[in-house]
Amino acid sequence: MTPLAKLLEAALFASARPIPSDTLLHLDAEATPAGVASALDEIREHYDNEGHGVELVAVSDGWQILTRPEYTEAIERAQLAARPQRLSGAALETLAIIAYRQPIGRLEIEDIRGVGAGAILKSLQERALVDVVGRGEGMGRPLLYGTTPLFLEHFALRHLGELPRADELTVALRPALAQAS
C-alpha cells in the first residue's frame, strides 16, 4: 500500500466514528482529494481482494472500517460487542415519514400514521436519530423535525438520496385495482 493509504488506514482504525472526507484530507498536508480517493480505493481493494475480516464502508459523508457480517454472531457470542437494539415498527414508520417529508411537524406525522407520535418523537430525539430543525408557520409555531447525520449512520446511508424515490415505491395494493377494473 502507498504511504497515504497506510496513514488513512491507521486513522480509520483509530476512530470509532466515520471520518469525514475533509478530515481525511487534512491528515496529510500534501494530499489531494483525488489522492485520498485513490488511497481509499486502495484500502478497500486490499480488504476485499486479500480476504480481510473487515471492510471499508462509506457512511454519511465519511468512511469507516466495519467488521464483515459473517463474523457478527461469533463476536456477539463471545460478548466482545453487542448489536444495538432494533427499532420498533412505530419508530421506523415515524423515521420514514420524517426522512421523506422533513421538515415536518408532529401533527402531520400523526395524521399519516393515525396514532399519537409524541412519545416516539421524544425517544427518537433522545437517540439523536431526529432533531428539531425549526418551527412551522402555523398555529402555535409547531416544532419541525428532521433527520440527523446519526440517522444516516444507523442505516449505513451516505445521503438521503440512497433511499428509494417516491415513484419507485410499488404501492403494493395497486394490482388489486387492475383486477377490479
Partner 1 sequence: MTSANVLRNPAVAATEELDGALTSGFVVELPEFSGPLDLLLTLIRDEQVDIYDIPIARIAEQFLARIHGMRIDDAAEYLEMAARLLRIKAQMLLPRHDGMEAWEDPRAELVRRLLEYQQVREVVDVLERLGDDRRNRFARAYVPMQVESSMPDDRPFAASLADLFAAVDRVLRQAARPLVHDVIPRALDVDGAMKSIREVMSLRARARWSDIVSRDAEPWQILSVLLALLEMAKSGELRIAQPKPFACMELSGDTVS
| CA–CA dist 108, 86 (Å, integer) | 25
The C-alpha atoms of residue 25 and residue 139 are separated, in whole angstroms, by: 46
Interface with partner 1, residue 74, by CB under 8 A: no
CA torsion sign for 93, 95, 97, 99 is negative
Q: Which is nearer to partner 1, 28 or 100 (CB)?
A: 100
Other beta carbons less than 10 A from residue 39's beta carbon: 22
113: contact with partner 1 by CB under 8 A: yes
Torsion sign (Cα): 134, 147, 19, 58: negative
The rounded distance, in Å, linking the Cα atoms of 106 and 136 is 11
For partner 1, the binding residue among 34, 74, 78, 166 (CB under 8 A) is: 166
> Is residue 51 within the footprint of partner 1 (CB under 8 A)?
no
Question: To the nearest whole angstrom, how small is the minimum distance from the Cβ of residue 25 to partner 1?
Answer: 21
Determine which residue in the list 11, 15, 131, 149 makes contact with partner 1, applying CB under 8 A. 15
List interacting residues with partner 1 (CB under 8 A).
13-17, 57, 64-69, 72, 75, 81, 83-84, 86-90, 92-93, 95-97, 99-101, 112-116, 153-157, 159-173, 176-177, 179-180
